Structure 1
Amino acid sequence: MKNQNFINDSFLLHNKYAQELYQKYSANQPIIDYHNHLSPKEIAEDRKFENITQVWLAGDHYKWRAMRTLGVDEKYITGDASDKEKFLAWAKTVPHTLRNPLYHWTHLELKRYFWIDELLNEESGERIYEEVNRQLQQPENSCRGLLKKMNVETVCTTEDPIDNLQYHQQIAKEDIGIKVSTAFRPDKALLIDAEGFNDYLDKLAKVAEVEIDSYEDLQKALHKRIEYFDTNGCKLCDHGLDYISYENFTEEEIAGIFKKRRKGEDISGQEAEKFKTALLLFLGENYHEKGWVQQFHLGALRNNNKRMLKQLGPDTGWDSIADFSQAENLSAFLDALDGKDKLTKTILYNLNPSDNEIFATMIGNFNDGSVKGKVQLGSGWWFLDQKDGMERQMNALSNMGLISCFIGMLTDSRSFLSFPRHEYFRRVLCNLFGEEMENGELPKDMALVGKTIADISYHNAKEYFSF
């Protein structure tokens, strides 16, 4: 296919120092993708996709938002159009994504997985569709093959406490050449003010074999599931919250609040905050006991379009950046755990770029010298996992902490074609350092700077996690 030479060796690398840093210290490092939403079932069964729409467009609300903005009918996004029609609608959209990270990701992914250099557009769409589909029939382009093609060493998916982890168990019985772990995500047990809370607890009770009639019962049930996940190799948890709740409470108050809600009665906003505080502290202590890493994704305003939420459900492209107040509650929560010496390794992901410095200074309050980089400012995520967002996150971390201790990139993705985002991140990282070497702001000592690049690309994460 036509060679546009757009994604070339110097892509995003603006001088010789950046290029050498990338090629010598970063490009060939294995990938530890410690947070994503890949399907363990598809990995266990080594799914082979029939066409590129199934592996590339299904579930990708980044692309869906762009298509809607362009005026593409929902039929060709989440509707009943054929897979080919949906892909061609995306191909027609791509030229309009210039300066959006989707333009870079699209062409990186086509080149790295399928050796396609041609720009995707309305004219090339059908050719590319047929060529990728031809390649997807080859054995090396199964789910596992796609991961191996990107030099993936470890992936960590995300599961609810009620999950039986059967597919992780199935994978563990094989030697597939890739470590597949999971992260425990108990948010539905925390969100006492959410619709469906009691229905969820009924499901949790059944799986944990604990009748959940009291707050103490809920603690027992969650503790049992933590034990189960730990036995099955889990080393992380993950929480996707608006913000960290923190309200002073007594155990008697929490027992009463829970009992009232379990009966189906309404609770106040303050009561909900007290409950979330108590349960999150309980969970934090359990994570510390197991030596897990806890992750907090904070700052999203979800499900803004209620009409489309009702029509399509959550996680379909109707979320945005929020402006919640983060600092005070986050400080109180971390301090409460640290005060008991029960603060485990912690990663804080910030979605609002105006809060970068708040988070970057917060982690320094609880890095106590016991572990290198114990509390981390997570990489730019969701709306910020693009060049500007990554640079702003890394600049804040550099200015307020030690970027040399940073554990680097993750995909946070549902797609098996998303792993070139690690390359994208690594190129941005190397260019950031390479430009300062050229400007004389960093020494032109390739071994010194290169070690930091290699550590951020791979070694820090390898040391930090205990998969």
Structure 2
Amino acid sequence: MKAFLDENFLLQSKTAQDLYHQFAKNQPIIDYHNHLIPEQIANDSRFENISQVWLNGDHYKWRAMRTNGVNERYITGDASDKEKFIKWAETVPYTLRNPLYHWTHLELQRYFGITDLLSPKTAEKIYEETAAKLAEPGYSVRGLLKKMNVEVVCTTDDPIDALNFHEQFAKEGESFKMLPAFRPDKAMNADDTQALNAYIGQVEAVTDTTIGSYSAYLTALKSRHDFFASQGCTVSDHGLEQIYAEDYTDQEIENIFQKIRSNQPLNPLEILKFKSAMLIQFAEWDHEKGWVQQYHLGALRNNNARMLRVNGPDTGWDSIGDFSQARALSKFLNRLDNQDKLAKTIIYNLNPADNELIATMIGNFNDGSVKGKVQFGSAWWFLDQKDGMTKQINALSNMGLLSRLVGMLTDSRSFLSFPRHEYFRRLICDIFGQDVENGELPNDIEWIGKIVSDISYNNAKEYFNF
């Protein structure tokens, strides 16, 4: 019987162990998509206890606690940090076979050297031990990132963000980079014309302009795109149910924009046309600047209206959706490619039923101009666990080139989430190692080790050119 979470965790063969320890383990981390708070990095914030750095904002843990019967007061409510931690400790033993069980204990080991299993029996001890560690000099926000050998973090930022914390951080010459990513979802959300109209007012304020037409709106947003570029941004990101690719005319979009400015509701087709026009515009700007554009597709968000009213978005009420992806995605990418305006693109899929769809779609637009120009991004959100990662890796292997994948990302709000890169790398090594052991790949450790190193780090380094 193997020990839980030993040095060869997930590595089921000698070959896998050699690949991981020689070629993957010590590679730096390029985390090109996360939801970390720039202010905390710029100010090198500290946390008084593990709840503040571990439970705050982590809707993965919140969902598990709710399922375990924990009252909301101990999740997002007014209970003390320690009370919330105790409730999480009570939940952890019931997360067996959920990836949270692995992540929880990996994070306790990697950041704090704690090998005890978290449970009600160990909760008090672990809470005090981690609080003492967090008070040490090396456990500030930047210290936590350095412990994981992080080289780049790309935060997720709205076009109206001032990026003052990125600017502040860039002047310090730190050993790692913090760069912004342009996330303009609110700028195109025509589902709620009142909210969008209010957002346009914010764009007016930050650009010191009056926006009375669609062209003026584009000019203002383009100035923000340019500003992000001046602050080192080379990455954009969208979180969408699906790609929007309706046909439209300029006059149609202008008419729709005037309805938005008048706070008039739009019909479903008008909403699709407006979103389609905006997506194309953003993509053309990304190509113009040589950025990498990312599309996170397939989440069905805010399912629980009652809890959305109580807690707001991004608090654990989202799920996998079953949207139709193929035709619109093909049409969107084809339009850009046909005009030679398709930037480097990463497509993340949330519905595993669409894995092979995405894996084959990217091959339609990889034109030899860039290695892995269009990527099937690593398993995302509900899928960034052993089974989900394995399915994504196998789909990409069977229908594309896994060897050109740009690796893993955290997509997280927690500074303790970076062992997800380790988890991914261990799975990659185990999959390659098993194929070698089975005689399905040659026993060429140096070459396969190079591929493992590329997937872990080198591909991202070359692709993003940070």
TM-score normalised over the length of structure 1: 0.99
Q: Within the alignment, does 1:224 sit opposite 2:211 as a pair?
A: no
> Deviations along 1:46-105, whole A, 9 cap, x unmatched?
001000000000000000000000100111101111100000000010000000000000
DSSP 3-state at the match of 1:183: coil
* Alignment pair present for 1:211 and 2:210: yes
Q: 2:349 & 2:447 partners in 1: Cα distance?
A: 29
Q: 1:193 Cα deviation (Å)?
A: 1.8
Q: Is 1:14 the counterpart of 2:17 in the alignment? A: no
Q: Which residue of 1 aligns with 2:92?
A: 94
C-alpha distance in structure 2 between counterparts of 1:65 and 1:285, whole Å: 38
Which one of the candidate residues 153, 163, 172 is aligned to 2:161?
163
CA offset digits 1:158-196 (Å, max 9, x no partner): 100000000000000002211110100010111112251
Per the alignment, residue 422 of structure 2 pairs with: 423
- What secondary structure, in the 3-state scheme, does the structure 1 residue paired with 2:181 have? strand
The match for 1:182 is: 180
Distance (whole Å) between structure 1 residues aligned to residue 3 and residue 76 of structure 2: 33
Aligned to 2:361: 362
Q: Deviations over 1:355-407 (max 9, x none)?
A: 00000001000000000000000000100000100000010000000001000
Distance in 2 (alpha carbons) for counterparts of 1:326 and 1:165 = 33
Runs of 4+ in 1 over 2 A off after TM superposition: none
Q: Distance in 1 between matches of 2:244 and 2:210?
A: 27
Q: Is the 8 A contact 1:360 1:377 kept in 2?
A: yes
CA deviations over 1:260-305 (Å, ceiling 9, x no partner): 1211112110011011111111111111001100000000000000
Measure the CA separation in 2 of the matches of 1:88 and 1:146: 23
Aligned partner letter, 2:294: Q
Aligned to 1:76: 74
The one-letter code sitting in structure 2 at the alignment partner of 1:170 is Q
What amino acid maps onto 1:171 in structure 2? Answer: F
Distance in structure 1 (CA, Å) of the matches to 2:273 and 2:267: 10
Matched residue SS, 1:338: helix
Q: Whole-Å Cα distance in 1 between the matches of residues 168 and 5 of structure 2?
A: 38
1:463 is the counterpart of 2:462: yes
Q: Helix, strand or coil: the match of 2:340?
A: coil
Q: Which residue identity lines up with residue 128 of structure 1 in the other structure? A: I
**CA contact under 8 A between 1:347 and 1:375: conserved in structure 2?**
yes
Q: Which residue of 1 aligns with 2:251?
A: 252
Separation in structure 1 between the aligned mates of residue 366 and residue 61 of structure 2, nearest angstrom: 38
- CA shift, 1:245, in A, is 0.7
Deviates more, 1:5-14 or 1:42-51: 5-14
One-letter amino acid of the counterpart of residue 455, structure 2: I
Q: Secondary structure at the match of 2:356?
A: helix
Which letter does structure 2 place at the counterpart of 1:283? F
Alignment pair present for 1:261 and 2:263: no
Q: 1:278 aligns to what?
A: 277
1:301-357 deviations in Å (ceiling 9; x for gaps): 000000000010000000000000000000000011101100000000000000000
Query: What letter corresponds to residue 344 of structure 1 in structure 2?
Result: A
Cross-structure match for 2:139: 141
Partner secondary structure for residue 442 of structure 2? coil
1:125 to 105, 120, 123: 123
Deviations 1:17-68 (A, max 9, x none): 0000000000000000000010110001100100000000000000000000
Q: Which sections of structure 2, spanning at least 5 residues, go unmatched? A: none
In the TM superposition, residue 248 of structure 1 has moved relative to its aligned partner by 0.7
Contact 1:191-1:197 at 8 Å conserved across structures: yes
- Amino acid of the structure 2 residue aligned with 1:297: H
Which secondary structure does the structure 1 equivalent of 2:216 belong to? helix
Q: Residue 5 of structure 1 contacts residue 117 of structure 1 at CA under 8 Å; is this kept in 2?
A: no
Correspondence for 1:333 = 332
C-alpha contact (below 8 Å) 1:6/1:117 kept by paired residues: no
Are 1:197 and 2:193 an aligned pair? no
In the alignment, which residue of structure 1 is the partner of 2:42? 44
SS in 1 for 2:119: coil
Residue 242 of structure 2 corresponds to residue 243 of structure 1? yes
Residue 180 of structure 2 aligns to a residue in which SS? strand
Alignment of 1:406 onto 2:405:
yes
Cα offset, 1:6, TM superposition: 2.2
Q: Offset at 1:213?
A: 1.2
Q: How many residues align?
A: 464
Provide the rounded CA distance (Å) in 1 between the counterparts of 2:89 and 2:367.
50
d(CA) in 2 for partners of 1:367, 1:38: 31
- Cα distance in 1 for partners of 2:325, 2:382 equals 18
Q: Distance in 1 between matches of 2:455 and 2:382?
A: 21
Q: Does 2:39 match 1:23? A: no
Matching residue's letter, 1:212: I
* Residue 66 of structure 1: aligned partner: 64
Contact 1:52–1:133, Cα closer than 8 Å, also in 2: yes
Shift of 1:5: 5.1
Give the Cα separation in 1 of the matches to 2:114 and 2:169.
31
Contact persistence 1:210–1:220 (CA under 8 A): no
Structure 1 CA distance for aligned equivalents of residues 254 and 209 of structure 2: 17
